[in-house]
Amino acid sequence: MSIRLKLSIGLFIIILASNIILAVVTSLYVGNVYFTEVQTRVRLDLNSARDIYNNSIDQIEQVLKAISIRRKISYPLEQEVKGDLGKVLQNIYNNSGIDMLTLVGTDGRVIYRAHNPQQKGDDISEIPIIKKVLEEWKPAKGTMVVSQEILQNESEELAKRAIIKIEDTPKSRSVSKNIEKRGFIIASAVPFVSFDNENNEKILGFLMGGYLINNHFEIVDKIKSEVFQDQSYEGEDIGTATIFFDDLRISTNVKGKNDQRATGSKMSSEVYDHVINKGKVWDDRAFVVNKWYITSYEPIRDPDNKIIGSLYVGLLEEPYKEPQKVIIVFFIIIVCICAIASLLLLFFYIRKLLKPMDIIMTMSKKIIAGDLTARCSIHSSCEMGILCKTINRMAEAIEQREKELQRITQQQIGQSEKLASIGRLSAGIAHEINNPLTGVLTFAHLLKQKKNNSEEDINDLDVIIRETTRVREIVKGLLDFARQTPFKKENLNINDILHQILKLIKNQKELRKIVIEENYSKIIPDCYCDKNQLQQVFLNIILNAGEAIPYTGTITITTSIKQNHIVITIKDTGCGIKKENLNKIFDPFYTTKPVNKGTGLGLSISYGIIQQHGGYIECESEEGKGTTFNIFLPVNND
């Protein structure tokens, strides 16, 4: 992969990633800000809805106060209701739209029901509003829950209207109850006051009025009309309102099945836990019947401050998601256009920026092909210009070195010819020495075969034969031993030298079935030594170890520090060395190998090399179990 392609891909990924991150962060931020603004509006709408709800209760109280304040009552209330008071109450009931208008005595018993005059005398002192006004003897108002039995006493029509069939709703909590018969009522109760001749106030009873919220939609529709202005989206109301009894919708303009009011459906379990159980205001998205709304809920409490339901307002989420989507899509399109434009500009910029690289590559190919006169033609002062100048200088240096190399090569060729001549001369000398030695051996053997030799003559001839053979082998070994080169010492890492050797010989036939273990110490300091000479030592000992292992085995190479010496340990699991031969292994020309398998100079030369480095070699061996060579080199060998 070219640097141009790598740079292009890298910049493309950076630009793409940065733009994606920018788009995601901006989208999330825009969505969050937009949602916060809409949620703030819904929260304000809930305040307006609460005012409408509370105004409905206040209107009841105002009506009751207008009725209850009378200047003079001459007869008990039971008799008054049969006259003008009853007509007044009946008239107010018929014209105000109040569901309940009841006159209660100070003992809590019903004196008169404008909505059901025949039903009276029952005790309703346990109704929360009546109970509170009896305890405090002053007006009380609020929301309360009454039983089906009390509603039956009020009127059969109210009892029937209060019945709501409970329907299963997605995300709502499950309950075993199928029908709700209790009534959810907003009501007010005021003392019924009269003044005697001395203008003293006297409470004769209490007047209670209220609306049954079950299946009563006047309040929620008024909220929708005044707060949300009856706005719609694709035929659906954008703004909705609901009054909950516990988690049950008893008055709502949220649509359910067949485009009917979703009366009888329930709020989601998440909202129920937050609002009803914990008594907190919910300001968030919520699943309402079958759609998502941006909502706000707050608890409704009875006169005893017990949570009995909640008031809800909400805006359909879909109309507000559309402009948000448009904004986000528009922003993403702009980001994509900018990204594409940036990539095109970068493409042309990179192409221009890396044009000198093409020139450098062309020059390099010419140099590789042998044209050492090739040069870069760029001479600017930027980094590329400096690079081209540097490459030109490098090419000039290569050209000079090539010329110097040719000169040295010619010298070496001449030297090689001289060495070849010396080699031929040495071979001739060796041949001349071997010829008389061969003659001596031949005549010695012939003399030995004479029949009249005495025993002393035979022994003398054996000595001549043995020593002459030994001289011939010495001549051969001396020729090999004379091939040592002068030292060239430098600071080197012993671990690296060993590792390089193993890389070179691991595929040797003798080592293919042998496991070589390397245990190098990481704290080995550099050693001032000749690399070629040490390679010869290590190579010789490792190959000897390989030859000592007949089939399969292990060679373990370890380095360590001991008493200011670097210790190189080469241990094999081969056949080992006999105890009586251990003190001879470093002697020149000593070998236990078969004929033509070695000269006996390898360990002797190795020992000399290590001594020249200021070190020494130790050998430990046990026949049949293996051999260990410990090579000691001084740490500070200058």
- Position 589 scores a pLDDT of 60
Which of 419, 450, 483 is at the close of a domain? Answer: 483
Residue 466 sits in the same domain as residue 493: no
What's the rounded Cα separation, in Å, for the pair 180 and 183?
8
Instruction: Indicate the pLDDT class of residue 461, thresholds 50, 70 and 90.
Output: confident
- Position 557 scores a pLDDT of 92
Return the structure tokens found at 509. 């036939």
290 in any annotated domain: yes
356 in any annotated domain: no
550 in any annotated domain: yes
Tell me the CATH number at 308.
Answer: 3.30.450.220
17 in any annotated domain: yes
Q: Which amino acid is at 6?
A: K
Percent of the chain with pLDDT over 70: 86
Which of 306, 336, 366 is at the close of a domain? Answer: 336
Return the structure tokens found at 635. 């740490």
Overall number of domains in the chain = 3
506 in any annotated domain: yes
Residue 448 sits in the same domain as residue 543: no
Q: What is the pLDDT of residues 67-95, one digit of tens each?
A: 776 555 655 777 777 777 778 888 888 88
- Position 345 scores a pLDDT of 83
Residue 256 sits in the same domain as residue 404: no
Residue 122 sits in the same domain as residue 44: yes
Rounded to 5 degrees, what are φ and ψ at 195?
A: -120, 135
Which of 483, 507, 542 is at the close of a domain? Answer: 483
Q: Are 521 and 566 in contact (CB under 8 A)?
A: no
366 in any annotated domain: no
Residue 459 sits in the same domain as residue 597: no
What's the rounded Cα separation, in Å, for the pair 590 and 335?
85
- Which positions ≥6 away from 526 have C-beta within 8 Å? 491, 492, 493
Residue 41 sits in the same domain as residue 176: yes
Residue-number span of the structural domain to which 571 is assigned: 489-634
Residue 504 sits in the same domain as residue 473: no
Give the residue-averaged pLDDT of 293-302. 92
Tell me the CATH number at 523.
Answer: 3.30.565.10
Residue 62 sits in the same domain as residue 166: yes
Q: What is the pLDDT of residues 225-270, one digit of tens each?
A: 888 888 888 778 888 999 999 999 999 988 887 788 889 998 888 9
443 vs 220, residue with greater confidence: 220
Tell me the CATH number at 440.
Answer: 1.10.287
581 in any annotated domain: yes
223 in any annotated domain: yes
Q: Are 38 and 284 in contact (CB under 8 A)?
A: no
- Position 505 scores a pLDDT of 76
What's the rounded Cα separation, in Å, for the pair 190 and 61?
7
3-state helix, strand, coil in the chain (%, to 5): 50, 25, 25
Residue 196 sits in the same domain as residue 230: yes
Return the structure tokens found at 573. 């699991």
pTM for this one? 0.52
493 closest CA partner among 538, 528, 517: 528
557 closest CA partner among 587, 517, 512: 517
Residue 58 sits in the same domain as residue 124: yes
What's the rounded Cα separation, in Å, for the pair 192 and 204?
6
What's the rounded Cα separation, in Å, for the pair 227 and 45?
6
- Position 419 scores a pLDDT of 47
Give the residue-averaged pLDDT of 303-315. 92
Residue 434 sits in the same domain as residue 509: no
Q: What is the pLDDT of residues 175-193, one digit of tens each?
A: 778 899 999 999 999 888 7
CB burial readout 276-312, b (16+ within 10 A) else e: beeeeebbeebbbbeeebbbbbbbbebbeeeebbbbb
Percent of the chain with pLDDT over 90: 18
Residue 60 sits in the same domain as residue 195: yes
- Position 480 scores a pLDDT of 42
Give the residue-averaged pLDDT of 370-375. 76
593 vs 519, residue with greater confidence: 519
